Structure 1
C-alpha cells in the first residue's frame, strides 16, 4: 500500500500542473496548456550551453504553445517564478524585435520592444499589469558557474500597485543566456543563487 506522504506528493504535483494548465486570460478564455519538461529534484535541465539542477519541487517549461511560459521555472502555485532563456537565435537575427539585456537601463531585464509587464506570483505572464517604472538598485557581476554574468536588481512599480516587486537579472553576453527572477524575495533569491552557482557549461 502506498504511503500517505506519497499520495500527498502526487496530489501536489497534480495541483501545480493544473494551475499552470488552467490559467485564463483577462478576457476569460483559457490559455493553451504548456509543455512542461519533467524535472524532479536532482535532474538537470539544459538552456543553450548552460546546464542547471532545479530546486526540489520545481518544474521547467521549455516551450508553451503561446510562448508566454517559455523558459519558466514553476514552484508551488507560482506559474513563472524565474525564466531561463537561450537568446542565441533571437540575437543573431538583425530584424528580431529584441532589446539586449543590460544593467545600464531602467528596464534592462526586459528584452521585448513592447510595454514591460509585472510578472509576480499572483500575476503570471499574460495576466500581469503594465510596469510603470523600473529603478536599478544594485548592479555588478555575479557568478554563474565558472562564468561572470552581468547582474542587476530593479525595484519595479506597476499599474496595479499590489504587483510592485523586485526583479533580478543575470546576462551572459557571450553565451547569450538570460536569467530573470520575478517577484524576488529572500527564500527564492537563495535558491536562484545556488542554482546558478552550480551551473555548468558545454
Structure 2
C-alpha cells in the first residue's frame, strides 16, 4: 500500500470516528430557525413560532417555563434544572424514560396538562405507558428522548407527553398534549436551537 493510500485510509478512519456522537454530542443541523421571538433558558437559545410567548417566571409559579400560543397557555415547558434546584432543599426526580412519569421532576403525581386543562386546572395523572424512547436533536446536541401515553383521572384529559433531556446542560423540555401538528412545530423549534 502506497503512502498516499495509507494516508487516505487514516483520513477515512478519523472521519468515521468523528461521526459517532454520544448523548448531547453534535448532530447534523436541522431546518433553519423560525422567525419570531426566542426563549433563553440557561445556555439554550430556542426560536419560538411567530406569536408564541415564553414565560420564564409567573407570579403563582404555575406557568414557569411555559411556551404558549393562541389560547393554549402551556403547550410545552422548558426548564433549566440547574437553576431550578440551586439553593433549594426540595428533592426532585431527574428526568428518565425508565420511570412511569419520567418527564415529571416532582416527587408527587403530575397533572394532565393539555390545551384544555392548563397548569392549575388539570386533573391528576393515574398512569403512563412509555411509547418511544431514544435520542433526538436539540440544535447541535442529542437529547435523551421519550414519549408517553398518559392516563388521567378525567379520561377526557388523557394525552401524550414528549420529553427531551440534556443531562450535562440539565435542560428539560416537555411537550404536553402531543398531536401531529404541534409535534412538527416542536421538532422544528428544537432543531433551530443554539447554545451560548
- 1:121 counterpart residue number: 115
Alignment of 1:158-173 (within 5 A): 158-173=152-167
- 1:195 counterpart residue number: 189
Does the C-alpha gap of structure 1 residues 65 and 94 become closer, same or farther in structure 2, counting only changes over 3 Å? Answer: closer
SS of residue matched to 1:101: coil
Q: Is residue 90–residue 96 contact of structure 1 (8 Å, CA) maintained in 2?
A: no
CA distance in 1, matches of 2:66, 2:79: 9
Q: CA deviation at 1:94?
A: 7.6
- The gaps in structure 2 that reach 5 residues or longer are 1-33
Q: CA deviation at 1:91?
A: 4.5
Q: 2:96 aligns with which of 99, 102, 119?
A: 102
Q: 1:80 aligns with which of 74, 91, 106?
A: 74
Choose 1 or 2 for highest CA Rg. Answer: 2
Q: Is residue 37–residue 49 contact of structure 2 (8 Å, CA) maintained in 1?
A: no
Q: Which has the higher contact order (CA 8 A, sep 6+)?
A: 2
CA distance in 2, matches of 1:161, 1:78: 19
- 1:147 counterpart residue number: 141
Alignment of 1:14-163 (within 5 A): 41-91=35-85, 95-163=89-157
CA distance in 1, matches of 2:37, 2:69: 15
Q: Is residue 66–residue 77 contact of structure 2 (8 Å, CA) maintained in 1?
A: yes
Q: CA deviation at 1:44?
A: 2.1
CA distance in 2, matches of 1:62, 1:188: 21
Q: What is the root-mean-square deviation in Å for CA atoms of aligned residues?
A: 1.5
Q: After alignment, is 49-58 or 87-96 more displaced?
A: 87-96
Q: After alignment, is 56-65 or 162-171 more displaced?
A: 56-65
TM-score (norm: length of structure 2)? 0.80
SS of residue matched to 2:122: coil
